[in-house]
Amino acid sequence: MKRTALILITTLALLTSEALTLMATRAALPQKPMALQAQSLGFFYKQDAPVRYQGIRSRWKAKHTNELTLDADAELTRLAYEQANVEAPLEEWRFQGGPAPGLFSGKLHLYNNGSEAMLNVPLKVVVRAFVGELQPDPMLKLTDYDRLESSARWEDVSSSVVQIPAVGPGSDKQVEVMRFELLPFLAQHAGKWPLRVDITVSAPNMASSHQVLTLIPDHFALPAYTR
């Protein structure tokens, strides 16, 4: 019995040693890169959307006698965005008097460096916002940026899956993964402002990609829907 037990122990020790050696050998081998790569993730807006919005709003006012509601204004903003076609990167919202679109998108640039097509790729998209209190300074009557920053907290905005039918071998594709509508967001967050909007995109065969957009509110006037 002792001899049999000794043989079993020796055999198990050899098998364990071989398994560890095989694992170490595999770990030492160069890892095959992921076939699907996120080349870039960024925010975009339509440069000609404000002009189209003004035209759409003028026509709306000519047909209606009532005041433009927040929901109607958001719908006009969407319509102007759909009709606009001059797209440009958005790196900061209202930076030094720059663009301040009411609707902007997030787009991912994918590249398949493998030898086979990637089919039915599910992109998981998580959008978060760093939301703070948007109130005027009682003395200066200007936006209280210190309070806005110190009161801000991260909160989830949305979590979705964008299905990509196919990405051919050696080819790339730009995919819209989200749209952020400012007016509806502010309506749901009275007296608050999204200081930052964060996107994270991941997929089974791709390393996750992450991007943040800073939104700077106006110094002098608080929109009526935030009061």
Q: Model confidence over 39-80: pLDDT tens digits? A: 999 999 999 999 999 999 999 999 988 888 888 999 999 999
In one-letter notation, the amino acid at residue 214 is: T
Q: Burial-class residue 134 by CB neighbours within 10 Å (0-12, 13-18, 19+).
A: buried
What is the residue-wise DSSP string for 79-118?
HHHHH---EEE-SEETGGG----SEEEEEEEEEE-SSS-E
Task: Give the pLDDT confidence of 155-207 residue by residue, as tens digits.
Answer: 999 999 999 998 899 899 999 999 999 999 999 998 899 999 999 999 987 88
Give yes or no for residue 18 having a pLDDT over 60: no
26 C-beta neighbours (distance < 10 Å), count: 9
127 with 210: CB under 8 angstroms? no
CATH of the domain at 156: 2.60.40.10
Residue 50 token pair? 């404000």
Question: Given its phi and psi angles, is residue 54 left (phi above 0), alpha (psi -120 to 50 degrees) or beta?
Answer: alpha
Does residue 215 belong to any structural domain of this protein? yes
Q: Report the side by side order of strands in the sheet with 36-46.
A: 87-89, 36-46, 103-112, 172-181
Question: Given its phi and psi angles, is residue 20 left (phi above 0), alpha (psi -120 to 50 degrees) or beta?
Answer: alpha
Handedness of CA 213, 219, 224, 227 (dihedral sign): positive
Q: How many structural domains does the chain have?
A: 1
Looking at per-residue pLDDT, the higher value among 4 and 202 belongs to 202
DSSP letter at 180 equals E
Looking at per-residue pLDDT, the higher value among 119 and 130 belongs to 130
Q: Residue 152: pLDDT band by 50, 70, 90 thresholds?
A: very high
Does residue 30 belong to any structural domain of this protein? no
Does residue 85 belong to any structural domain of this protein? no
Does residue 94 belong to any structural domain of this protein? no
3-class DSSP state of 212: strand
Residue 24 token pair? 């170490």
Does residue 185 belong to any structural domain of this protein? yes
Which distant-in-sequence residues (6+ apart) come within 8 Å of 106 by Cβ?
41, 42, 43, 44, 125, 127, 176, 177, 178, 179, 180, 199, 211
How far is it, in rounded angstroms, from Cα 163 to Cα 210? 18
Residue 35 token pair? 């076939």
Q: Residue 17: pLDDT band by 50, 70, 90 thresholds?
A: low
**What is the residue range of 124's domain?**
37-43+101-226
Task: Give the pLDDT confidence of 86-111 residue by residue, as tens digits.
Answer: 999 999 888 777 889 999 999 999 99
3-class DSSP state of 217: coil
